[in-house]
Amino acid sequence: MSDFGARLAAQVAERGRLCVGVDPHPQILQEWGLTVDAAGVAECAQRMVEALGDLVAVFKPQSALFEAYGSAGIGVLERFLAAADKAGAMVIMDAKRGDIGSTMAGYARAYLSNDSPLAADALTVSPYLGFGSLTPAIQLAEATGRGLYVLCRTSNPEGGQVQLAEAGGRSVAQMMVDEVNTANGDRDPAPFGLVIGGTLPTLDVDLTGFTGSILVPGIGAQGGTVEGLTELFGAAAGRVLPTSSREIMAAGPDPDSLRRAVVALTAELG
């Protein structure tokens, strides 16, 4: 498998830079006329990939909303991954895993190994047990050509308590930028990226020289705007992978309406 950064760049060049979140919240299921159970989630996920799998560059399923239904929900997620791959869409698994030692290695095997049915093109990870705790995931991602997105500046108000704390003259969030850049080495486009919320009032980190992609959730219903991306990210805006979930899914379940919503937002992103 080729390097994740190179694959993503080629995919975005072909399909545009919109990442579509697949977040089967109970409210979405109800609005789509589906049951709030694993069967409803399965129908929702199937409709999303059938309507958009040949159109969008990247899907980002929220693992928690599948896990909530136990083994049946995990089975739905496995089938979604296979269907997205068959349709030609990449997948970033939004699981935000983070632990130490053998446990982190277990999470890495689940989402990044070639023989796992839950393996995605990339995985979101939490570095707040120390960046070094991500080493098993970094090593396996390198070995299998997959990517990681490291939580950096999240949009929740509580995030700043940890992310903006300072040590040695740098914020913790800035340390994460610098550590990810070091892991990327001289690769551009690089396989390891950051997660930065699209609804932040200010960026609070310096992205100069950063060579990975930046996953930016919150575009649309959560308040983030396309115009705001340039203002927030400045010169790094070209590395942003904007994510919209509720805004797109609210257009469903009609497949034509879903496609129109994606085409409109992709055109707006340019």
Q: Which residues are catalytic?
A: 96
266-20-134-176 Cα dihedral, nearest 10 degrees: 40
Q: Which helix (H) or strand (E) holds 270?
A: none
Q: What are phi and psi of 123, to 5 degrees?
A: -135, 135
CA-CA distance, 5 to 245, in Å (whole number)?
A: 23
Q: Are 224 and 214 in contact (CB under 8 A)?
A: no
Query: Which pair of structure tokens corresponds to residue 19?
Result: 């990442």
The contacts of residue 73 (CB under 8 Å, 6+ apart) are 38, 41, 66, 67
Q: Which helix (H) or strand (E) holds 89?
A: none
CA-CA distance, 63 to 46, in Å (whole number)?
A: 15
- The overall longest dimension of the chain from CA atoms, in Å, is 53
